[in-house]
Amino acid sequence: MILQGRLLIDPKQIPKEGWLRIENGHIAEIEQGSPPKEPEAGSRDAMICPGFVDAHLHPPQFDVMGCDRLELLDWLDRVIYPAETRWSDKAFAETHALDSHRRMLAAGTLGYAGFLTSHEHSVMAITKAAQQIPLRALAGQVLMDRHAPEELLENRIARLARSEKGRLDCTLNPRFAPACSDDLLADTGRRLGEGFPFSFKQREAGEKGTELFMQTHLAESRAECDLVRELFPDDEHYTGIYDRHGLLTNRTLLAHCVHLADDEWELIAARNCVVVHCPGANTFLQSGVFDLNKARAHGVRLALGSDVGAGCDLAMPRVARAMIEVAKLRRMTIDPSAHVPTSVEAWNLITRHNAQALGFHDMGRIEKGASADLLILRLPFACDAHLIGRLIHTWRDEYITHRVLNGRIA
C-alpha cells in the first residue's frame, strides 16, 4: 500500500512532500517526491504523521466524562464506582469496551495504556474489542480489595492475556494504595516478579515469564495523600509503599505524581519508573499543579495521559495543549522558573516518547521498519515553522482524513 503526503518525520523540520510504502503492517519504504503509482490514500497536500499514544486512561469511564465539582475521593465514590459497577454486566462491558476503541480511533489515538474494571471479564471485553479494532494497548483489570463498593472488590485476577500479534498486553493495575491492602500489593509484587505467563507448571519449575508492566496512581490529590498516611502509618511516604512491595520497576507507569517530596522523586528516578502527567484531569478535579521542573531535575522518564474520565478530552494534541497551558499558568503564578514545554516537546511526548514509555518501541515514528500506525491529515493552514504549534493549539479531530492501523486503513 502506498500513502502520499508531506511526511512529518522530524517535528523540528517542515515536512517535505513524499510517500510511504507499507508492507505487513510496517513502513517498508520512505521517499521524497511523487509516488511511483497512484496512492491508496493521501495526496500532495495531505500530511502524514504518527498516530497518537495515550499513556493513561480508563475505558470504563468514557461515558462519565465531565461530572464536575467533586474532589478525587468523592468523585470516585459518586461517579466512578457506579460507572465501573455497570461493567458487572458482561454484555454492557463488551459493548462499551468496543465503543472505547472506536472513540480512541476517531481521536487518532492508536496506542494506549488503560485501566479496566475489577471484573475478571473486563479483560475478555477489551480483548474482543482489540480483535475488531486492534489498537496497540497495555490494559489491566483494576485491583482493589477495600474502600470501594463490595461488588467491585473482586479478588480473582483474570488470566493475563496477550494477543498473538503483540497488539494487546495485559498489565497489573492496583488502583491506588487507599483501595489496596498490604496483602493485595504484596500479591501484585509477587506476580510482577513472576512475569508472564505464570502458569502453575512454570512456577513449579521455578521459571520466570517475560516482564510485565504495572500501572497505578500516585499522589494525585492532597486528601488522597492524607488518607494514605492514615492507612499506612509505618511507611515513610506514599511512593515507599509501592517500593516495599517491589512494584517500582522500569515497566511501572505512575499516573499523576502531583504531591511528591524530593526523596520520592529520587526513588522514582532510581527505579527508572515512568511518571504519567495528566494535566487535564489534574485541573478538572482540582487535584493540583504538576511540577515539570521536579521531573526534569530528577531525570525522571515522563509520559502524557488524557486520564479520561477525570480528563474530559481524548484528543492527545489537546492533552498536550493542556500540559503547556498548565505549565504557563505555573510560571505566571507559582514559579517564574517553571519549565514550559515547546510544541515540539509536547508533540514528541504524544507520539514517540509515550510509545517508548509503554514499550511500543517501533511506534510513534515515521521511519523504515516502524509500525504503520499513522494518520493522514488535511490541514487548513500552511506547513511552515509554526506547524506543530498550530497542530497542538488548534487541534480538531476533523483534521484526520484517514487512520492507518497496523498497516490497514481503518
Query: Which positions lie near Zn ion, rule CB under 5 A?
Result: 307
The residues, any chain, with a CB within 8 Å of residue 201's CB and separated by 6 or more, are: none
Question: In angstroms, what is the minimal distance from the CB of 370 to Zn ion?
Answer: 28
Smallest separation, CB 312 to Zn ion (Å): 13
List the beta bridge partners of residue 359: none
Three cell numbers at 391? 497542530
Least separation in angstroms between residue 57's CB and Zn ion is: 7
> 3 vs 268, which CB is nearer to Zn ion?
268
CB 374 within 8 A of CB 49: yes
CB nearer Zn ion, residue 239 or residue 371: 239
C-alpha cell at 243: 517500593
Q: Which is nearer to Zn ion, 215 or 348 (CB)?
A: 215
Cβ proximity of 126 and 137 under 8 Å = yes
CA-to-CA separations, 163 to 26, 109, 126, 129, in angstroms, rounded: 18, 19, 11, 12
Mode of pairing for the β-strands spanning 16-23 and 26-32? antiparallel
Question: 350 vs 372, which CB is nearer to Zn ion?
Answer: 350
Minimal CB distance residue for Zn ion = 307
Which residue number, 169 or 220, has a Cβ lying nearer to Zn ion? 220
First to last CA, the chain: 13
For the chain, the residue count is: 410
Residue 349 C-beta: closest distance to Zn ion, Å = 17
Nearer to Zn ion, 154 or 307 (CB): 307
Q: Which is nearer to Zn ion, 169 or 307 (CB)?
A: 307
- Comparing CB distances to Zn ion, the nearer of 135 and 281 is 281
Task: Tell me the closest approach of the beta carbon of residue 43 to Zn ion, in angstroms.
Answer: 39
Under DSSP, is residue 301 helix (H, G, I), strand (E, B) or coil? strand
Least gap, CB of 180 to Zn ion (angstroms) = 15
The whole-angstrom separation of Cα 64 and Cα 312 is: 9
H-run or E-run covering 98: helix 90-106
Which three cell numbers mark 372?
504503520
Residue 229 cell numbers, joined: 498516611
Residue number, 84 or 145, with CB nearest to Zn ion: 84
Comparing CB distances to Zn ion, the nearer of 94 and 307 is 307
% helix / strand / coil in the chain, to the nearest 5?
40, 25, 40
CB 41 within 8 A of CB 25: no
State the nearest-atom distance from the C-beta of 15 to Zn ion, in Å.
Answer: 34
Contact 106, 397 (CB under 8 A): yes
Distances (CA, A) of 260 to 129, 224, 240, 295, 399: 36, 12, 11, 10, 38
CB of residue 195 to Zn ion, shortest distance in Å: 25
User: Rounded to the nearest whole angstrom, what is the least distance from the CB of residue 56 to Zn ion in the complex?
Assistant: 6
* Smallest gap from residue 115 Cβ to Zn ion (A): 6
Neighbours of 136 (CB within 10 A): 29
Contact 313, 106 (CB under 8 A): no
